[in-house]
Amino acid sequence: MAQAPTSLFFIPLLVLPCFAWLGMAAPTRKSAMVAGWASGVGYFAFGLVWLVEPFLVDAAETGWMAPFALFLMSAGLALFWAAAFWLAYSIGASRRQRVMALVILLSLAEFARAHLFTGFPWNLIAYGWIETPVAQLLSVVGPHGLGLLTMLVAVLPLLAVRRPYLAFGPVAALVATAWVWGAARLPAPEDIALTDTTVRIIQPNASQELKWRDDMLGIFFDRQLALTRQAGAKAVDVVIWPETGLPFFLGEDEISMRRVVEATGPDTQLIAGIRRYEAGRYYNSLIHLDEQGKITDIYDKHHLVPFGEYVPFASLAGKLGLTALAAQLNWFSGGSGPRILQDEGLPPYLPLICYEAIFPGDVQAETGRPDWLVHITNDAWFGKFSGPFQHLVQVRARAIEQGLPVARSANTGVSAMIGPHGRVLWSLPLGEAGSFDARLPAPLAATPYVRLGEWPWLALSLLLFAGLLLRRHRQR
C-alpha cells in the first residue's frame, strides 16, 4: 500500500516490523524462510497486479495465462526474501541479532533482485516515500540506501526488546529529521530554474489492443501529426513522440517520414520512438531529427524486457545448433548501452526507452553527464490501476538521484515534465490524448549518489554485518 497509486508512506513502518517478527520469532530456520517467502509473495503479488494486463490485450487467446504469470513472478521474486530470512535466522544468536541481520540481508536481497538474471528492481521499498520530502534522500544514498534506512528505522521497536514502546520516539524523530531536511532541499515552484529550451511532449493515447490494428494505425499517426503541428501555437525547440510513436520501420516509409518533418516545422527538432531492422536484427530505437529533418542520432534500447522483447538464453539454442529456434526467440536485439546524445541546438541528453527507466544504473553513461533525461514509453501495456503510476514513480526517483529533469512522452499516461527534485511540473493524465509545451528545467550539480553510487550503503551494510558476526563469535 506504500507503492503507487495508494502511496501510503507510513505503511512500511508498521508492516516491516510484523514481517521481521513473524520470521525471527519462528521456531525453526525453515519456518522463518517460509514466513519470509509468504511475506514476499504478498508484497509482490499486490504490487505487480498490473502484470495480468498484457495477457488481457488478447484475452481470448492469452487471458488464461494471467493468474499463473502473476503467481509465478511473485513466487520467484519472493525467493530473494526467503533466502534473506533463512540466513538471518541462521546467523543471529538471539532474536534481536536475527532482526538486525534481517535488515541487512533483506536490503542485500533487494539489491540482488535488482541485478541478477537481468534484474527487476520494480517497487523497491524506498519508492514508498516518493510523495514526501523524505524521497530527497535518494539524491544521497539512492534507492537501496533509502530502503536500508527505512528498514532500520522500522525495526527499532523490535531491537528494544524489553521496552519497545520507548523506540517510538526515536522513530518519529528520525522520520521528522529526514522530512525537514528533504523539505528544505525542495525549492518553491516559482523558484525552479528554467532554461531557454522549450519542449513539446506528445501523448496519442493509443490503447494496446488498437495500436497496431491496420484500420487504426493511420488514425493514431495523424493524431500525433496534429498534436505536433499545433496550429497557432508558439514554435518550440524540440517535439518528443513516445516509444514506437512512428508506426513503421526506419527507412521503409519515406512518405510518412516527410509528413512528420513537415508537421514538425523548419525550426524544430524531433525525438521519436521507432523500430528498425539492420543486418538481420530488429531494434527498439529512438531517433533524433534536426531542424532540417535529417536523422542525426539513433539510440537502440539495450535493456530489453525478458519474455516481452526477447527470451533469456535464446542464444544457447543457437549454440546447440537450433538456429531457427534461436531466431524465433530473439524478437529484438539490445543496443550497446547508455549513451549521451549531443545535437546542436539542444542541451545534451540521455535517452531511456520504457523499461530502462526502472534501473538506476542505466542512467549512468560511461563518459560525461547529460543536462536532462528523455524517457519515451508505451504504458498502455500496464492497464489503468497501478502499473503506469508505479512506472512514473520510478522515473521521478531517477530525477532525484541524478539531479536532472526528465521529459517523458508516453503512448498513454502519464506524460510529464519532471523537475530535478522529482516533482511533476507539467503532465497529461492517463487515458487522454494531448500535448503540452514546457520549458526545460535546469539541471542541479551532481548529487552525492551520482558521485559515490551504491558504495555508501553497501559499506554500511557490510560494516553492520561484520559487527554482527564478531559479536556472535565473542558470545560463542
Instruction: Report the catalytic residues.
Output: 243, 301, 354
Cβ partners under 8 Å of residue 40, min gap 6:
74, 77, 78, 79, 80, 81, 82
**Rg of the chain (C-alpha set):** 24
Question: What is the 8-class DSSP label of residue 341?
Answer: B
The amino acid occupying position 281 is R
For 5, the enclosing helix (H) or strand (E) is none
Q: How many CA atoms lie within 13 A of 257 on its CB side?
A: 17
Alpha-carbon gap, residue 261 to 268, rounded angstroms: 9
**Burial class of residue 294, CB neighbours in 10 A (0-12, 13-18, 19+):** exposed
The rounded distance, in Å, linking the Cα atoms of 409 and 304 is 19
For residue 397, give the nearest of 425, 366, 359 by alpha carbon: 359
Q: Beta strand pairing status for 269-278 and 415-418?
A: unpaired
Contact 240, 205 (CB under 8 A): no
Angle made by CA atoms 465, 162, 175, in degrees to the nearest 5:
60
**What is the residue whose three cell numbers read 517535439?**
239
What is the number of other CB atoms lying within 10 angstroms of the CB of residue 214?
6
Q: Are 444 and 405 in contact (CB under 8 A)?
A: no
Q: Which of 437, 435, 388 is nearest to 414 (CA)?
A: 388
Four-residue CA torsion sign, 404, 410, 412, 417: positive
Per-residue DSSP letters for 344-391? TTS--EEEEEGGGGG-GGGG--SSS--SEEEEEE-GGGGTTTTHHHHH
Contact 35, 83 (CB under 8 A): no
